Structure formats: structure tokens, C-alpha cells
Amino acid sequence: MKTYLTVLRIADYRKLWLGAVASLIGDGASWIAMSWLAVTTGGAGSLTILGACYFAPVIIGGLLAGKLVDRFSRRLLLVTDSLVRGAVMLCIPLLAALGHLALWHLYAVAAVYGLFKILPIGIIPTVIPDLVPARHLSTGIALEAVATGAAGLLGPMVGGALVPLIGANWVLAVDAASYVAFALAVLGMKARLGRPAPSPDGAAAARRTSWAPVVGFLRRDRVMLVITVTFTLFNISLGMLTVAQPWLAHERLPGGATMLGALAGVLAGAQLTGSVIAGALRPAARPMLRIGTLQLLAAGGLLLLLGAHPVLVLVGQVVYGLPDAMVTVSSQTVRYAHTPEELRGRTMTLMRTLMLSALPIGSVLAGPLLDSGNYTAMVLVMTLLAAVPGVLSLLAARHDPPTDPPGTAAPAHPHLVQE
């Protein structure tokens, strides 16, 4: 805990982190509000369209964001994203107050949200090494994951509590206010969060908007290529699990909706706990060895879903979720160590876009298997998709020789430690 407090004493990091937490909680609440508006206005079928509008544009947004994150000021991009999405969210309560709200307005707002959401997802991890000294980098990474996990738990709860109190429309106004809070937090930072400096040969300055240097870098760096491929595969297994949870609660396990809430809550709680543990651990001298071991452990947790015994399924969520979050923190440290600074923004954006895009692929794979009654086959496929990354990561460990943990080096930005 002392390490976490040390990092949160860094004024600029604290402002960015608190602003991100507020915005993420607002997003979680807004999804509850938008889905409630959709289902009460257009029925269950509208949820499918809303979900597609909400999640699918992240692929297009990621491709477009890659053209921006290494070309323009990260501060400008974060503030612009927050103000645009905040204004768009505010349109819903305003249209409702004027009596002109239609279902297609929800779809349009969801699409804009999905298009822009990759910007902070890609930029925030990119700037963490500029705000946190090297010896506390893993803790800074873990705190980002903690923020996401905590917001994933609190956001829906806040939305569910506010909808009956102030109405779903005005919950979106609360989300708009959270975007403004994030923009003000970023503007209050002393760090300028500018675009990266060009490489000495000047090549990066002329190619800031091109994906070619990033693709070439990933092809040359075997460890980074393995991380990209394995995390994409692993996230497919996570997408399958998110479909398996409601199916299990409805078809195999007692408790119905209560059991579904328990499954989702236990998984989210395990991931949050894993992030906290990872931030307190000393960085590994051979991180790929740690990553591979944790991925195999997570895959073993999925095997506990075989037989659909309630207790084993719940334990399986923990065994899967806890190492999953720890892997995320460890892999981020590897990415920072391997990625050139002038490519960091595009590389992080590309990798997170691929990982987010893998979630719906998992949904597509799991659905037909469950519909046809092949639950055991679904679990085995899901386990395989989680285990293969572990094997590949262990093989990659041979090409990633032991290094001094980040904590043994001098702070990268000692002037940022003081408030």
C-alpha cells in the first residue's frame, strides 16, 4: 500500500488517475442508462443494435487514433475527446427535455462513444512512463488497471441506483459532467503531455501518422509480436467467458439473475485484486516467464467450469480473473521496455485495439457452441485459447534474457516526483 500512496503523491499522475476514475465510472453508469432507455423504448432487439453501435466502432477508432497519438499533443487529444463525448452524451437529456428523443439518437451517441473511446485507452498508458519514475512504473501501471476494475464494479452500480432516482436520461448528463471533470484534471497537470520527440535521424517526424513503422517494429521484435498475438488470443477466451456466464446462470446453475450477478462480480473482483497484487510485486527479471506461467494458471481455472458445478464455476472465475489482471500489468512493463518512445502511442493503440476487438470474436465463437448444446466443447476451446498464449509466452522467454528490474535504475523523470 505504501508504494501505491507514493505514486499517488505525484501530483500529475494523481490528477490523471482521479480524472480517469471519474470518467470511467460515468461510462459504466451511462451504459446502464442507455441500455435501459433502449429496452424500454425499442424492446430487446434494440439492445443488439445498441451494443453493436457501442462496441464495434472501436476498430475504426483505433485505426484512426493511430494516425493522431504520435502526431499531436496527448493533452490536446485527451481534452478534445472528453469534451466531444461529453457534449454528445448531453444531447440525450436535452433532446428528451424538448420531447424530440428518438431511438436512433441513442444509436448515434453510442457510435460516437465507441469511435472515440480508444483515444484515452491508448494515450493514458502511453504517458505513464513520463509521469512516474522507473522504479515505480509497475505500480503506476497497476493503478491504471485498478481504476478500470473499480469503475467496472462501481459504474453499473451507480447507474442502477441513479436511474430510478433521476431518470435514465439525466444519468447521461452525469456522465457528461464526468467528462468535463477529466478534461479539467488533464488541463490542471503541469506536464505538457506533448507529442514524442523525433528520432535522431528525423525519420519518425515524417512518418508520425504511418502504421508501417509500428508493423515493422512488431515483426522485428519477437517478444512484442508474441505479446500482441497471445493477448489477442487470450481476450478471445475472455469474450467467450462473458457469453458463458449468462448461459450458465440461465441453463445450468441455480439462482438465475442473482447467480449471473455473482459470476460477473466475482470475476471483476478477482481482476481488481490481481491488479492490486501485481502493483505491489517487485517487477520480474524475466517477465515473459511470469506472464506465461500466469496465463497457464488462468487457463486451468477455466477447466473448473467443466461439469457446471456452482462452487467450482465460481472458483474458476477467481482462478482465471486474478492471474489475468496480473498478466496485464506485467506485459505493460515489457511493452514499455521494448517500444521506442516515438512509436509508443501508435503501438499501444494498435495493441489495445486488437485486444478489444478480440472480445466480440469470443462471443461469436461461444454462441453457436452453446446454442447447439456443446457446452463441454465450448469450455475446452476457451481453455485452449487461454493456454496457447501461456505456452508461446514461455517459449518467448528464451529470447528475452534476464534484465535488471526497473526498480534498480535511477528515476527516469526525477523532477516529476515532487509536487
Question: What are the tens digits of pLDDT across the range 82-98?
Answer: 999 999 999 999 999 99
- Residue 263 pLDDT > 90: no
Q: If you average pLDDT over every residue of the chain, what do you get?
A: 84
Mean pLDDT along residues 252-264: 79
Q: ∠ at Cα 159 (52, 366), nearest 5°?
A: 35
- Cα 66 to Cα 85: distance, rounded to the nearest angstrom: 19
Confidence of residue 177 (pLDDT cuts 50, 70, 90): very high
Range from 246-260, 287-301, 320-334, 337-351 that averages highest in pLDDT = 287-301
Identify the structural domains of the chain with CATH numbers, from first to last. Answer: 1-196 (1.20.1250.20), 210-403 (1.20.1250.20)
Q: Which of 48-57, 114-123, 185-194 comes out lowest in average pLDDT?
A: 48-57
Q: In the structure, what pLDDT confidence band is assigned to residue 414 with cuts at 50, 70 and 90?
A: very low
DSSP 8-state code for residue 189: -
The per-residue pLDDT for 411 is 36
Residue 275, H or E segment:
helix 257-280
Whole-model pTM: value is 0.72
What's the chain's length in residues?
419
358, HSE (Cβ side, Cα atoms, 13 Å): 21
pLDDT at 163: 85
Q: In the predicted model, is pLDDT for residue 201 greater than 60?
A: no
In which element (H, E) is residue 18 found? helix 11-42
User: Which residue has better confidence, 52 or 343?
Assistant: 343
State the Cα–Cα distance between residues 19 and 183, nearest whole angstrom: 8
The answer to whether residues 133 and 3 touch, using CB atoms and an 8 Å cutoff, is no
Res. 199: pLDDT tops 60: no
> What is the pLDDT averaged over residues 142-167?
82
Predicted local confidence at residue 335, as pLDDT? 87
**Cβ burial 42-68 (10 Å sphere, 16+ → b, else e):** beeebbebbbebbbbbbbebbeebbeb
AA identity, residue 350: L
Query: What are the distances in angstroms from CA 297 to CA 3, 9, 292, 324, 379?
Result: 27, 34, 9, 9, 15
3 state SS of 101: coil
Query: What mean pLDDT do residues 8-18 have?
Result: 94
Q: Please report the pLDDT score of residue 197 as a whole number.
A: 65
Rounded Cα distance, 412 and 113, in Å: 35
Lowest mean pLDDT among 2-11, 175-184, 347-356: 347-356
